Amino acid sequence: MKLLYILLMVATLTTGCSQSNLKSIFGPNSESDYPDYIQVGDKFYIQAWELALVNNTPEIIEFGKVERASVISKGTPVYEIPGYPEQDVVAVKTDSNNTGLVTNISGYLIYVQQEENGESHYSEIAGQQFTQIQIFKGRDLLRELKGEDVDAFLRLFNQQGPHNEFQAGDGTIYTIVLIGDQPLGYNYGLREKDGRFGLSHIESKLPDEIADYFTSK
C-alpha cells in the first residue's frame, strides 16, 4: 500500500511549519535558529526527526566528522547512507535523544543538507511500500506488525483528529517505525493518556481502536 498521504505528515515538523515554510525562514547563516544542526566540510545539515535508519539498512560508511554543531559533539563520525552518494542525507551515530518527539531507537540521527538558498534535501521515500511496522515503548520493542496488520494499523493511524487537541503531558512515550524496502523509513512519536493515543508532533488524537496495537503479544 503506497502511502501518498504520509506526505502530509512529513510536511509537518516540530513547529507545525511545512518544509517550504522552513526554507523561507531559515538558512545556513541563521544556524542559531536551529535546535539541532551539524556542519561537515562546507555542508550544513539540519536534523530530520521523522526519518530513521531501519533494520534492513546495508552497511553505512563513515565519510567525515562533525566540525560544528549545536547538539552533537565535535568530532562525532558522520556516515553516508546507501542510496545517497551525494551525501545530502547522512547519519550520525549518537545516543542523544534530542528529538523531542521520538525515541532514538537505532542509535543514529538523520540529517538533511540545507543549501545557502534555503533548499533542504529531504528524502523522497513516501512512495515506497511499507511492509513492516515496529512499535516501541521507550526503547523496548513492544510489537512488530506485518502483512494485513500493517494496512489495518495504517488505516487507523491516518485518521488523525484536529491538531492541538490532544495534550498528553507526561504520558507514556511510544515510537512507531514504518519500514519498507529503502534504507530510510519514518518514525513518529505517540503519547498515551488514560488509554488513548495521540501523535506528539501535532497533538492529534488517534481512534480509540488503535489502543489494541499497544499491548505486547
- Higher-confidence residue of 112 and 1: namely 112
What local confidence, expressed as pLDDT, does residue 24 receive?
Answer: 31
pLDDT for 123: 66
User: Stretch 50-69: mean pLDDT, rounded?
Assistant: 87
Which helix (H) or strand (E) segment is 77 a member of?
strand 77-80
CA 129 to chain centre: 17
Residue 23 has a pLDDT of 32
Per-residue pLDDT reduced to its tens digit, 195-213: 899 998 888 999 999 999 9
pLDDT at 118: 61
Mean pLDDT score of the chain: 79
Q: What percent of the chain has pLDDT over 70?
A: 74
User: Is it the case that residue 15 has pLDDT exceeding 60?
Assistant: no
* Phi, psi torsion values for 139, nearest 5 degrees: -100, 0
Question: What is the predicted pLDDT for the residue at 21?
Answer: 32
Per-residue pLDDT, 215: 81
**How much is the pLDDT for 138?**
86
Q: What value, to the nearest 5°, has the Cα angle with vertex 140 and ends 216 and 96?
A: 155
b/e code 116-152 from CB counts within 10 Å (16+ = b): eeeebbbbebbebebebbbbbbeeeebbebeeeebee
Determine the Cα–Cα distance for residues 203 and 186; give it in Å rounded to an integer: 18
What percent of the residues of the chain are helix, what percent strand, and what percent coil, each to the nearest 5? 15, 35, 50
Q: Give me the residue spans of the domains in the chain.
A: 17-114, 132-214
pTM to 2 decimal places = 0.78
Give pLDDT tens digits for 135-187.
999 889 999 999 999 999 999 999 999 998 888 777 788 999 999 988 899 99
Retrieve residue 7's grid coordinates: 506526505
